[in-house]
Amino acid sequence: MSRRSAVTDAPKGGVATSIVVRLFASHNLLLAALRRGLGPSLTLARFDLLAQLAREDGVALATLSRRMLVTAGNLTGLVDRAERDGLVKRRPDANDGRVTRVFLTARGQRLADEAVRQHNALTESLLGGLDADTQRTLRDALGQLRTALEAQGAVGDT
């Protein structure tokens, strides 16, 4: 038995440890494939920012930080670079001047639309080896895991 199969098939910590090991291994493989698939000019962090804003434009910086699971400092740098590249604009909130909101520019919207299409095609391809029932089962199981972790307070402030 190879070292790899010994680790993934019969971890010393039991089934829970095996699940975590497999999740991390899958996470790393997915991230590597997504990085390659999005190309050298679009980082995963920038993609996440654009996708968040494509879903809901004009999001407050603090909300973006929580949704993207990054610190406020990291988000500031990411938004600074996206603004420098003409992809986003910051504007004060109309009702609360202390709040800054981030909006896609027309150029940012075009890039976001293309990146989301590319990302969707890539994820379909990456998970194409799993039949539709397995994909739904996996999605549901991961949703249950997320809910259980959130209920345990596993999600910290960033």
Is 3.10.110.10 the CATH number for 40-151? no
Indicate the burial class of 49 (C-beta count within 10 angstroms; 0-12, 13-18, 19 or more): buried
Domain ranges of the chain: 40-151
The whole-number pLDDT of residue 4 equals: 52
The whole-number pLDDT of residue 156 equals: 55
The whole-number pLDDT of residue 9 equals: 55
Nearest Cα neighbor of 50 from 125, 120, 122, 102 is 102
**pLDDT per residue as tens, the chain (158 positions):** 444 554 455 557 799 999 999 999 999 999 999 999 998 889 999 999 999 999 999 999 999 999 999 999 999 999 999 999 999 999 998 898 899 999 999 999 999 999 999 999 999 999 999 999 999 999 999 999 999 999 998 765 44
